[in-house]
């Protein structure tokens, strides 16, 4: 299994829009073949910070996710402009 842990930090005042984007993108992503889990959490200490926990069958399924229409629409065309920063770390399941 291929695991992605992403961190997004919304620009001041963009939290509501970013949360809506995350909800819509998560719902669409969960329907993708190869997506096992897509969970989004907001920090209780820094409310503009979000963590995305994603599990895919393999790296190819994640690559397909990144070329999906909803990823382009929600993330690349909208969310990126509302973020102060974003990063991702990639893992392989060992069990």
Q: pLDDT at position 61, please?
A: 97
Per-residue pLDDT of the chain (95 residues; tens, 9 = 90+): 999 999 999 999 999 999 999 999 999 999 999 999 999 999 999 999 999 999 999 999 999 999 999 999 999 999 999 999 999 999 999 97
User: What are the residue boundaries of the structural domains of the chain, listed by start?
Assistant: 2-89
| CATH level 3 topology of 2-89 | Alpha-Beta Plaits (3.30.70)
Give the global pTM.
Answer: 0.93
2-10, strands of its sheet edge to edge:
35-42, 49-56, 2-10, 83-92
Instruction: Report d(CA 5, CA 77) in Å as an integer.
Output: 21
Q: pLDDT at position 70, please?
A: 95
């Amino acid at each position: 299994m291929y695991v992605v842990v992403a961190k997004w930090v919304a620009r001041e005042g963009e939290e509501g829009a970013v949360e809506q984007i995350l909800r819509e993108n998560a719902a669409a992503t969960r329907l993708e073949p190869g997506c096992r889990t897509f969970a989004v959490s907001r920090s209780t200490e820094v409310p503009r910070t979000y963590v995305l926990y994603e599990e895919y069958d393999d790296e190819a399924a994640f690559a397909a996710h990144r070329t999906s229409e909803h990823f382009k629409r929600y993330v690349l065309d909208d969310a990126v402009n509302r973020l102060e920063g974003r990063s991702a770390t990639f893992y392989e399941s060992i069990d």
